[in-house]
Amino acid sequence: MSRTTIIPIGPQHPAFLEPLNVSLELKEERVVGATLNLGYNHRGMEHALSLDYKKSQYLVERVCGICSNHHSAAYCQTVEAIYGVEVPERARIIRTITMECQRITSHLLALGHIAEVVGYENLFMQCFRERELVMRLVNEITGNRVHYSTNVIGGVKRDIDAAMERRIEDVMSDLRPRLEELHAIFSRDSTFVKRTKGIGKLTREQAIDWCVVGPVARASGVAQDVREDGFAAYDRVRLRPVVREEGDCYARTMVRMDECLRSVDLIEECLPLLKEGSVVLSVKGHPSGEGISRVEAPRGELMYYVKAIGKLQLDRVKIRTPAFVNVPAVQAMLPGARLADVPVITVSLDPCICCTDR
């Protein structure tokens, strides 16, 4: 009978990009328990966001740099709901396009990261090479690479002109075969498949119990996607959520890979919908009342609650980020795993500590 050993990993560790501390309880090579220690990234965003609702349009992107545009879209939608205004159609389509672009960059980052932790550095580089295409496109559309700062209360700041529409089309048709090539590698490469298939299983029941969202839930057979609610312009396009049943690291990776391709479809579907019109609506006075809004961020459902009191300050901003519910589920996946698989399992969740801690 061997004793259990406790191994702390983090906050600074090669496998994690972000400060996160996991205490693993080990029996020989097997993990029998895991405890998470979070909070290294807590900056007090909810408090900072409630100081000035206008500045918060931009500050809100600094909650998380990977899904910044989704944060600002969710925040703007919430405040628009408080004002009771309907955003112009064109602005909603532009928001959809930028959100889908960001989904591709975020998923390619996650895919590259998992390729790196299974030891496939070449694939990591390839993911990032394709990702750079979208980063550059977004830079052209919005003027920024990371924090787009295009969403404002009432619409978007920058329009997409005809030349830009063609440019988006070109990039998407260039990107599609590259993504298909990546898809073939991820689905067929024997090293990758062996390292991820059957590892870190999360059953459907567990997924529901731990309330996971986004690709993690969809990889465990829970068909749940907030885009089906039809915020922004998602009611105008044909959504086909990717759902898999296996619930292991492989399934989570493949869900992300498939979603990248679906995002390209969505962007291409959005472009012909763009009709002449204004992209921003001016709102008057300070907001007053309560609002709630949800978007599907790359990692899952992102919810904002705002309580405004007719002043520059807000009474309360509450954010429920997808990583906040997904990260604890690692405690359900780790027991029974081998020590060498721990980084793969953790990264397959696509943890985002800056979202979790805020």
Partner 1 sequence: MGLLDRIGVRSPWILHFDTGSCNGCDLEVWALLTPRYDVERFGGVNRANPKQADILLITGPVTKKCEDRLRNLYEQVPEPKLVMACGNCASTGAPFHNCYNVCQGVDKVIPVDVYVPGCAARPEALIDGLIKALSMWEEKARAAREVKG
What are the residues binding partner 1 (CB under 8 A)?
11-14, 17-19, 39-45, 47-48, 59, 61-66, 68, 109, 124-125, 128-129, 131-132, 135, 145-147, 352, 354, 357
CB of residue 310 to partner 1, shortest distance in Å? 24
| 92 and 233 Cβ atoms separated by less than 8 Å | yes
What 3-state class would DSSP assign to 30?
A: strand
Gap between the Cα atoms of 250 and 62, Å rounded? 31
CB of residue 51 to partner 1, shortest distance in Å? 9
Between 92 and 131, whose beta carbon lies closer to partner 1? 131
CB of residue 203 to ligand SF4, shortest distance in Å? 36
What are the φ/ψ torsions at residue 308 (nearest 5 degrees)?
-105, 150
Tell which one of 19, 65, 241, 328 touches ligand SF4 (CB under 6 A).
65
**What would the DSSP string read from start to end of 216-258?**
HHHHTT----GGGG--TTTTSS-------S--SHHHHHHHHHH
Between 139 and 191, whose beta carbon lies closer to ligand SF4? 139
Between 86 and 132, whose beta carbon lies closer to ligand SF4? 132
Q: Which residue is nearest to ligand SF4 (CB)?
A: 62
Q: Which residues pair with 293 in a beta bridge?
A: 304
19 makes contact with ligand SF4 (CB under 6 A): no
CB of residue 209 to partner 1, shortest distance in Å? 28
Query: What does 199 bind: partner 1, ligand SF4, none (CB cut-off 5 to 8 Å by kind)?
Result: none
CB of residue 77 to ligand SF4, shortest distance in Å? 22
Between 11 and 65, whose beta carbon lies closer to ligand SF4? 65
Residue with tokens 């907001």: 287
Gap between the Cα atoms of 95 and 149, Å rounded? 11
107 makes contact with ligand SF4 (CB under 6 A): no
Gap between the Cα atoms of 285 and 311, Å rounded? 9
**DSSP state for residue 15 in the 8-state scheme:** T
CB of residue 106 to partner 1, shortest distance in Å? 9
Query: What does 320 bind: partner 1, ligand SF4, none (CB cut-off 5 to 8 Å by kind)?
Result: none
Strand locations in the chain, DSSP E?
A: 5-9, 21-27, 30-37, 151-152, 155-156, 288-297, 300-309, 314-320
Gap between the Cα atoms of 211 and 204, Å rounded? 10
Gap between the Cα atoms of 240 and 282, Å rounded? 34
Query: What does 273 bind: ligand SF4, partner 1, none (CB cut-off 5 to 8 Å by kind)?
Result: none
Fill in the per-residue mask, 25 to 64: x = in contact with ligand SF4 (CB under 6 A), - = not in contact.
Answer: -------------------------------------x--
**Which residues lie near ligand SF4 (CB under 6 A)?**
62, 65, 146
